[in-house]
Amino acid sequence: MNKQNGTTPRLIQESEKAHMLTIPFVFSRVIARISMDEKNTLTSTMKQYGVGGSEYPVLLALLAGEMQGIKGVSQLEISCAVARDPALTSRAVRQLESKGLVKIEQDESRKSRNSIVLTDEGKKVARVAYTKTEDWNNKALNTLEADQRKVLEDALETILEKMLPIS
């Protein structure tokens, strides 16, 4: 409130209006802010290794596959895993290959298909990204009680299954 004439400054009025406009979109705004914080954390860590924001998800997908006994996956499989356009995945794979973090090999089981695999250096960098992701997730989830974590996990899984079913 302006003491001189009893009015509210326009900037305050506008910011109050802006806040009111976000109310219908609280869920998507919260998810976007959380996601952006995680991405910023990982991007700053990966920058030390010369790995960009579009590249580290590929490393994480390949490491996750290796942790499950899957050695080498196609670019399409990576695209599905990281929910990215295949052209973006292809570009990220080429960049990672030029940095010596992945290599492209002919798939032994299907000769017409190439497989992307982590190099030894790629595994090291992917483990750093994995550890940083795990630390960030633990930090975020430790703000909740165990029962709250379970409810959140279940709710997000339900949303994911209903909104983005795997075909």
Summarize the confidence of residues 26-36 as an average pLDDT: 84
> Cβ(116)–Cβ(75) under 8 Å?
yes
Q: What is the mean pLDDT of the chain?
A: 85
State the CB neighbour count (10 A cutoff) for residue 102: 27
Task: Decide if 17 is inside a domain.
Answer: no
Confidence of residue 17 (pLDDT cuts 50, 70, 90): low
User: CATH no. for residue 83?
Assistant: 1.10.10.10
Residue 3 has pLDDT above 80, yes or no: no
Give percent of the chain with pLDDT exceeding 90: 56
- In contact, 29 and 70? CB cutoff 8 Å: no
Domain of residue 145 covers: 42-163
The model carries a pTM of 0.76
Please determine, for residue 150, whether its predicted confidence score (pLDDT) is greater than 60.
Answer: yes
User: Above 70 in pLDDT, residue 132?
Assistant: yes
**Nearest Cα to 56, choosing from 44, 69, 70, 67?**
44
Residue 137 within any structural domain of the chain: yes
pLDDT at residue 18 above 70?
no
* Residue 33 domain flag: no
Q: Per-residue pLDDT for 1 more than 50? A: no
Instruction: Give the closest residue to 135 by CA, choosing from 48, 41, 31.
Output: 41
User: Is residue 150 one of the residues assigned to a domain?
Assistant: yes
Q: Tell whether 61 is covered by a domain.
A: yes
Per-residue model confidence as pLDDT tens digits over 74-87: 899 999 888 889 99
Task: Check whether 124 has a pLDDT greater than 80.
Answer: yes
pLDDT at 134 over 90: yes
Residue at 20 is within a domain: no
